[in-house]
Structure 1
Amino acid sequence: MLQWTFLLLTNKLHVVLWLNDNNGAVLALLTLIYVLTTFLIFYANLSSVKEMQKSREEENRPYIVVYLRYLNNGGVEFVVKNIGKTLAKNISITSNPDIDYPKERPLSKSNLLNNTISNMAPDFEYSGLLEKVWDLKDKEGNFPTYAITVFYIDTKEKGYKEEYVLDFNVNVDLKNPVQRDIHDLVQDFSGYRQDNLKSMKELNRRIQDLSHEIKTEKNQEK
């Protein structure tokens, strides 16, 4: 027992003597550990600050969205709106393919899609009426799909790009099935009416020709 105690005291003494002899090296090692620990803490704090700054920027940035708004009368509007919290500047909007509605004044030729919008305040919107939903069908009965791209900057000149797909084939079935059916009936009735008018005109012409022939025969008999 005494031997083990003596050995333990001897080892401790050796450690103390080694520390005294290598005091500079020990301090250097402890300093290095302290510096590394401080750097890791600083890096972790810096990452947290960057995440907080990014979240704050996302919360306070402009955000331009493009969507379709369906009206109760069957019409559909093309809407551009800033749903962000700050001013958006130099907004540029492109569509592929071009939006050729309304037919009298196509949206693709309007200032909204041809020119740069200087600025849009938060919650501000531009909208343009396209057509009645059922008038957007092509000859095959399909509705158009548009790929919309929006470029803009914020007040700090940071740029943003948003991309949207406006697919009428999906939205029409969900939003306006009743109006489409009624319109189809109206179209059928209009076609029937036009055909009926043509038939009536032809019948009147034949009656007039027959009446003329009868008068001619009577005159000849006299």
Structure 2
Amino acid sequence: MRTANQLLAVDLRAWTPEDWSAAATVATAIFTIATIGIALAAALYAKQQVDLARELREEQAQPFVVVDFADNPVMRQGIDFVVENMGQTLARNVKISVDPPFATTFDEYGYPLKDAPLITDGIPSLPPRKRITALFDGAPERREAGLPMKYIATVSFEDSRGRPQEPLTYILDLSIRYNLLSPTEYGLSDAAEALRDISATLKETRSELRGEFRRRRSEGERRDATATRDSGSSDSGGTAAS
């Protein structure tokens, strides 16, 4: 049996010009195939990069509608419901569904958020960076009322060309807002309350001052009247003695 070395042994000195030409042709073909393979791989990689860049640009150019709860800037411990388009293009036909339906302590005053057009009808168009805010509830009052603390909100919308976008789902959890340490921040409502207290104090002070002035004036008038009577009595006594 022939060994591997014998099978691989090649006597290059015995090659004819035709053998060398055939070997060169085979080597050229192999090199060409390898070059084509590399070129195809490079082209495929470039196409993937182009597709990825295009998808990234399209995603960056899409509307991105977010719903969440936020602190009310005026009412201390007030909670806002916020809808905002954080994308770079217009969002159309924005619809918001909430499970379970919103319930707040403000409902009894005739302003239930679940029946507001923002929820029932949606938003026809929401420009980039447009923010819509609705006063939702007060944190202490809500906790005392035992209302739900967690909602699941689903937002569906279309892009600027009217193409439906993938619906976005958000878990809105109010319970994370409780039992947290935070510095006290005073807003416009606190300033207004302080001004009302100052006004009431000033009214009370003015009333007390008026009362004190009237009391002192009355005492002065009584003293003057007493002095006048005493003076008249003295004059009458002196005339009789003469």
Please indicate, yes or no, whether the TM-score normalized by the shorter chain is above 0.5. yes
Would the alpha carbon gap of residues 114 and 11 (structure 1) be closer, same or farther in structure 2, given more than 3 Å must change?
same
Verify: 1:154 aligned to 2:155, yes or no.
no
- In the alignment, the residues of structure 2 paired with residue 138 and residue 15 of structure 1 have an alpha-carbon distance, to the nearest angstrom, of 102
- Runs of 4+ off more than 6 Å: 175-179
Structure 2 length-normalised TM: 0.61
User: Whole-Å Cα distance in 2 between the matches of residues 95 and 52 of structure 1?
Assistant: 35
After superposition, residues 107-118 of structure 1 pair within 5 angstroms as: 107-118=113-124
Q: 1:120 corresponds to which residue?
A: 126
Shift of 1:32: 2.3
Written as runs of structure 1 = structure 2, the 5 A alignment for 1:55-74 is 55-71=56-72, 72-74=75-77
Q: Following TM superposition, by how much is the alpha carbon of 1:27 offset from its aligned partner in structure 2, in angstroms?
A: 4.3
Tell me the alpha carbon deviations over residues 49-75 of structure 1, each in whole angstroms, 9 at most, x when there is no partner.
122122222322211111112124222
Instruction: Write out per-residue CA displacement over residues 174-195 of structure 1, whole angstroms, 9 at most, x where no aligned residue.
Output: 378989xxxxxxxxxxxxxxxx
Q: Say which of 170, 175, 180 aligns to 1:169.
A: 175
TM-score scaled by length of structure 1: 0.66
CA 1:15–1:94 in 2, change beyond 3 Å: closer, same or farther? farther
2:137 to 118, 131, 142: 131
What is the identity, as a one-letter code, of the residue corresponding to 1:42? Answer: A
Q: Which residue of 1 aligns with 2:44?
A: 43
Distance 1:117 1:16 in 2: 83
- 8-17 or 39-48, larger mean C-alpha shift: 8-17
Instruction: Point out the more displaced range, 88-97 or 103-112.
Output: 103-112
- What's the CA shift string for 1:99-156, capped at 9, x where partnerless? 02331222111111111321100111111112221222265x5652111111112124
Map residues 66-85 of structure 1 onto 2, 5 A cutoff.
Answer: 66-71=67-72, 72-85=75-88
Q: Which amino acid aligns with 1:162?
A: L
Q: Please report the RMSD computed on the Cα atoms of aligned residues, expressed in angstroms.
A: 3.0
Rate the CA distance shift 1:176–1:70 in 2: closer, same or farther, 3 A: farther
SS in 1 for 2:102: coil
Cα deviation for residue 172 of structure 1 reads 3.0
- Which secondary structure does the structure 2 equivalent of 1:173 belong to? coil
Specify whether residues 24 and 170 from structure 1 end up closer, same or farther in structure 2 by C-alpha distance, changes over 3 A only. Answer: same
Identity %: 22
Runs (5+) with no aligned partner, structure 2: 1-8, 186-242
Q: How far does residue 45 in structure 1 lie from its aligned partner after superposition?
A: 0.5
| Partner-residue secondary structure (3-state), 2:87 | coil
SS in 1 for 2:179: helix
Give, in whole Å, the separation in 2 of the partners of 1:168 and 1:32: 64
Shift of 1:25: 4.7
For these two proteins, the number of residue pairs brought into alignment is 171
User: How many angstroms apart in 1 are the aligned matches of 2:16 and 2:127?
Assistant: 73
Check whether the contact 2:65–2:85 (CA below 8 A) recurs between aligned residues.
yes
Q: Name the SS of the counterpart of 1:123 in structure 2.
A: coil
User: How far, CA to CA, are the matches of 1:178 and 1:127 in structure 2?
Assistant: 23
Structure 2 equivalent of residue 210 of structure 1 = none
Match of 2:96 in 1: 93
